[in-house]
Structure 1
């Protein structure tokens, strides 16, 4: 797989590439958990297993979240790009098997369009670094589950206030 990856200094110069503002907007529309998984991977360079352990999520959820990010970063209606994105994410998983790597190689060799779609997926992934830095500028994504929602906290506070009323301590 490493020989398929492009050099880091290769910048996306395609007409289909979205600009940073459009990518940032697309990332902001994703659920907070998806954003958090993406930022932990992209900015902190944590692998899927480390993210899964840190957030107490199954590896398949991490893969699904990363697929959502790539889907948001590509033009809609491009089915081949979707398949390339799925392969790109799956190959990063520690659960990828040798058979899957062989299947990927067969898919890649089946048509020149497959290689081009995978190449564009790599470029798309690289183009997400700038918007990722903007999205995670205040490091909110490094906090645990409590940082994502106040729902559980609100319930606890509500129960505490109800208990105070019930016991007559609230006056």
Structure 2
């Protein structure tokens, strides 16, 4: 994981309405994207660990994380999108030294780039409370889908029908 530019002890307390808006945006994401995001944000797992745990490629994990972070943008802004993509890419085990140099050049090219990257870090930190709400029952830690009550009911019904059908044959 890359070193963040802001000190770790910084705590941003977003307003309740802002947290609810972020939670709503996160809930709108596909379930697998939510799972990858929560494993990263709440459990602080690296992309490589998440990939192994969910049997995904590192690139898929990175794509899901980028999708989650981009979904939290209040409005599409090219600079914010680029900063988010860099933020996610810097966490990836696939990042190369050349890409790190490109990031540094991008960051140094314009003071607005640095400001956008700091804003992305702050946004990432503001996602902790919505992430806790989204993952409160720890569903995201399951490596595969659990049997639902509906699915079990259907299976039991089919089994009972099979037993009854066999009973009529004998």
Name the TM-score, length of structure 1 as normaliser: 0.84
Instruction: Give the distance between the partners of 2:158 and 2:14, measured in 1 at CA.
Output: 57
- Over aligned residues, Cα RMSD in angstroms? 2.8
Equivalent residue, structure 2, for 1:120 = 119
Q: What are the Cα deviations for residues 3-59 of structure 1, in whole angstroms up to 9, with x where unaligned? A: x521123244899xx711111111111111001001111111110000000000001
Asked if the contact 2:14/2:126 (under 8 Å) is kept, the reply is no
Asked if the contact 1:164/1:170 (under 8 Å) is kept, the reply is no
SS at match of 1:5: coil
Gaps of 5+ in 2: none
SS at match of 2:91: coil
Equivalent residue, structure 2, for 1:5 = 5
Distance change in 2, residues 1:164/1:67 (3 Å): same
Equivalent residue, structure 2, for 1:73 = 72
Asked if the contact 2:13/2:126 (under 8 Å) is kept, the reply is no
Equivalent residue, structure 2, for 1:139 = 138
Asked if the contact 1:66/1:89 (under 8 Å) is kept, the reply is yes
Name the TM-score, length of structure 2 as normaliser: 0.84
Equivalent residue, structure 1, for 2:128 = 129
Rg: which structure is higher?
A: 2
Gaps of 5+ in 1: none
Instruction: Give the distance between the partners of 1:170 and 1:65, measured in 2 at CA.
Output: 50
Q: How many residues align?
A: 163
Matched, 1:169 2:163: no
Matched, 1:52 2:69: no
Matched, 1:109 2:105: no
SS at match of 1:91: helix
Distance change in 2, residues 1:170/1:105 (3 Å): farther
Instruction: Give the distance between the partners of 2:158 and 2:13, measured in 1 at CA.
Output: 57
SS at match of 1:145: coil
